[in-house]
Structure 1
Amino acid sequence: MKFTRPQAEPVAMQLAPMCDILFLLLGFFIISFQFSKSETELNVAVPTAEEGVPEERARGEIMINVLADGTIRVEGQTVTRDELQNKLTPIAKLHPNQPVRLRGDSNVAYQRIVEIIDTCKKSGIWNISFATQQPKTE
């Protein structure tokens, strides 16, 4: 007696849900990339340094921009030194090794940069780096 197995029908793969997920992921990455780029103020001309390394942001790094007139901008908002300290203090308590990148315009007074470093230290932030750019080669 010969038994025959029922033939299984091939399962058709549904492409519509997979396409939906791919478009959602693509949208997420495009939007998150745009937000990370908006933290760097375009009107801040950072000083040049021959030994500067290419910009590589640490995860969760806070970007502090200092414009030529001494204005402090963090996350697209203009803040005072007191507001900066109030913003950084709770972050430093949660993350003791919180990285901060200071992007000071090359025309800003050195005293202003030192004041911001002092504010970061008062907040408990010690991991501070400075943004530079390589000189243009002609």
Structure 2
Amino acid sequence: MKFRNHKMPPAELQLAPMLDVVFQLLIFFLVSFEFQRSEYDMKVSVPSAQEGADPKRALGEIIVNVRATGEVTVEGQTMTQVQLKEKLSAIAALHKNQPIRLRGDADATYQTIVEVIDTCQKSGIWNISFATQRKSEN
């Protein structure tokens, strides 16, 4: 039995499938960035603190924004306390220990913040954190 020594030609690099994957990844990251950014209400200026917790978001965390005027927004929608309770109750029924990040404006009244916390607790959500920003070093 005689074996022949055949050399295989080098494989060519296929660029079309690689470019498809790169563009799909690019689109995915752009779209997911816009969804994450829309949850933060730019009309809310959170209070500053020298110390604070890690700003990383918990998995599945819902952001509740409280504007200086007392408006409450979730996912870009302005809600009343009743609408907020309905939404959070439905979420709490599906997910135990649902995290909530409360972004209250520094000029919002304390009463409004307490009402939102009360609504969260009535909905069955107890895992509430507060957003702050670090004081600027001047």
TM-score, reference length from structure 2:
0.93
Report the counterpart of residue 75 of structure 2 in structure 1.
Answer: 75
Equivalent residues, number: 138
Which amino acid counterpart does residue 49 of structure 1 have in structure 2?
A
Matched residue SS, 1:112: helix
Gaps of 5+ in 1: none
Which amino acid counterpart does residue 98 of structure 2 have in structure 1?
Q
Q: Give me the identity figure in percent.
A: 56
Distance 1:25 1:130 in 2: 32
Which amino acid counterpart does residue 100 of structure 2 have in structure 1?
V
Report the counterpart of residue 25 of structure 2 in structure 1.
Answer: 25
Distance 2:35 2:132 in 1: 21
1:37-88 CA distance string (max 9 Å, x none): 1211111111111112352111111000000010000000101111111111
TM-score, reference length from structure 1:
0.93
Cα 1:8/1:111, change in 2 over 3 Å: same
Q: Report the CA distance between 1:10 and its aligned residue.
A: 3.1
Cα RMSD between the aligned structures? 1.5
Report the counterpart of residue 36 of structure 1 in structure 2.
Answer: 36
Q: Report the CA distance between 1:35 and its aligned residue.
A: 1.4
Report the counterpart of residue 13 of structure 2 in structure 1.
Answer: 13
